[in-house]
């Protein structure tokens, strides 16, 4: 589907849309069957295995750079532990933003509809996730890695005023790339059992969130006025730039005894890292392209974020 320009295209696009209530009812059924309480589901007291990674090495930002090759294995594993904590911190930030966006989304809707009931269910999932990520950070013995004050405040504005399609485009950005990494993490036997458990729970519950946000964004891109569709491209392009910059907090490098400027420069120059980020974003950028978000200035901003080839 491309940007809607006339009645015929609009009718075609509407043919692709699934019934909002039907989608929500199916997601509610799946939530009853596959929801987890991380506090009882996972063994939080087991000591970490000394020979296991907190994050798959190929997904660590410095992997395969000259600096990485010079680092002893112990320092690489330490960096993986700090990057896992940085991603968990980022995850909590996204989820707190998302919860507010969802509350704003349903504020004017019929409260007994399945669509609203599912949004409330998703908020419930995210409260458990954020607590689970925080507990993982505490258990890992690492600091919490907050985003910069500027990004923190930019998101404050975004989550307060963003239009609904913009909210769902940002939601997907927050969910899909981390989800791609987590799908590689939970089956990986080199990884700490606790991290595998956390990522498995998150992947199962997140699949529903992605479905809900995608269906809603597709629906809204068909009905939104042209100015709003163009705005979504630009705001999501800006979110992609913030996302790429804040993805791994550079403080992790100093915390494991590396030179921050050198590490950041090597990550920027890393072909492996670029490929990881673009592959991780591919499922999302293909979808955004399909629903008409990646046009004009917005597309250029996505490119400059490094997430779109
Ligand atoms: Fe989540
Ligand atoms: Fe989610």
Give the helix/strand (H/E) hosting 230: helix 226-246
At 53, give phi and psi (nearest 5°): -85, 150
- Residue 102 CA to ligand 1 center (angstroms) comes to 13
Average pLDDT over residues 256-278: 96
104-151 tens-digit pLDDT = 999 999 999 999 999 999 999 999 999 999 999 999 999 999 999 999
pLDDT of residue 2: 41
Q: 1 in a domain, yes or no?
A: no
Residues with CB under 5 A from ligand 1 (ion): 129
CA distance 238 to 211: 23
Q: At residue 191, what are phi and psi to the nearest 5 degrees?
A: -95, 150
Q: Which of 4-18, 91-105, 144-158 has the lowest mean pLDDT?
A: 4-18
Phi, psi torsion values for 114, nearest 5 degrees: -65, -35
Residue 79: pLDDT band by 50, 70, 90 thresholds?
very high
Ligand 2 centroid to 203 CA: how many Å? 9
Q: Which of 64-69's residues contact partners 24+ apart within 8 Å by CB, and which partners?
A: 64/270, 64/272, 65/266, 65/267, 65/269, 65/270, 65/272, 65/273, 66/266, 67/258, 67/262, 67/263, 67/266, 68/266
Q: What is the CATH number of the domain that holds 30?
A: 1.10.620.20
Q: Which of 171, 205, 38 is nearest to 100 (CA)?
A: 171
In-domain check, residue 185? yes
- Residue range 268-277: average pLDDT? 95
pLDDT of residue 15: 55
Q: Which domain holds residue 276?
A: 7-305
Q: Does a structural domain hold residue 265?
A: yes
240 contacts 289 by C-beta, under 8 angstroms = no
User: What is Dmax (Cα atoms) for the chain?
Assistant: 62
2 inside domain: no
Decide if 112 is inside a domain.
yes
Number of domains the chain is built from: 1
Residues with CB under 5 A from ligand 2 (ion): 206, 209
Q: Say how far apart CA 285 and CA 131 lie, in whole Å.
A: 29
**Average pLDDT over every residue of 99-103:** 95
Centroid of ligand 2 to alpha carbon of 146 (angstroms): 19
Mean pLDDT of 72-78: 98
Ligand 2 centroid vs 123 CA: distance in angstroms? 8
Rounded to an integer, the average pLDDT of 204-212 is 95
For 72, 87, 95, 255, the CA distances from 44, given in Å and listed in that order, are 28, 19, 22, 24
Q: Is the pLDDT of residue 1 over 50?
A: no
Residue 283 pLDDT class (50, 70, 90 cuts)? very high
């Amino acid at each position: 589907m491309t940007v809607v320009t006339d009645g015929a295209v609009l009718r075609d696009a509407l043919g692709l849309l699934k019934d909002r209530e039907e989608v929500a009812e199916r997601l509610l059924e799946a939530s009853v069957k596959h929801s987890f309480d991380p506090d009882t589901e996972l063994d939080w007291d087991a000591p970490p295995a000394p020979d296991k990674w907190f994050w798959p090495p190929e997904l660590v930002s410095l992997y395969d750079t000259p600096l990485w090759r010079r680092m002893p294995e112990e320092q690489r594993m330490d960096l993986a532990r700090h990057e896992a904590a940085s991603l968990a911190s980022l995850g909590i930030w996204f989820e707190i933003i998302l919860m507010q966006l969802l509350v704003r989304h349903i504020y004017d809707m019929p409260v007994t509809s399945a669509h609203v009931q599912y949004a409330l269910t998703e908020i419930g999932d995210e409260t458990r996730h954020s607590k689970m990520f925080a507990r993982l950070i505490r258990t890992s013995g690492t600091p919490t890695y907050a985003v910069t004050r500027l990004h923190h405040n930019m998101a404050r504005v975004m989550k307060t005023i963003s239009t609904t399609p913009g909210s769902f485009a940002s939601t997907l950005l927050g969910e899909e790339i981390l989800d791609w990494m987590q799908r590689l993490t939970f089956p990986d036997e080199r990884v700490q059992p606790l991290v595998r458990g956390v990522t498995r729970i998150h992947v199962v519950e997140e699949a529903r969130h992605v479905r809900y946000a995608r269906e809603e964004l597709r629906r809204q891109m068909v009905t939104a006025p042209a100015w709003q569709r163009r705005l979504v491209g630009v705001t999501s392009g800006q979110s992609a730039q913030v996302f790429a910059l804040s993805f791994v907090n550079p403080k992790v490098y100093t915390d494991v005894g590396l030179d921050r400027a050198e590490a950041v420069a090597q990550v920027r120059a890393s072909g492996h890292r670029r490929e990881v980020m673009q592959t991780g974003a591919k499922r999302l950028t293909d979808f955004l392209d399909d629903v008409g978000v990646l046009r004009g200035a917005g597309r250029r901003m996505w490119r400059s974020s490094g997430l779109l080839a």
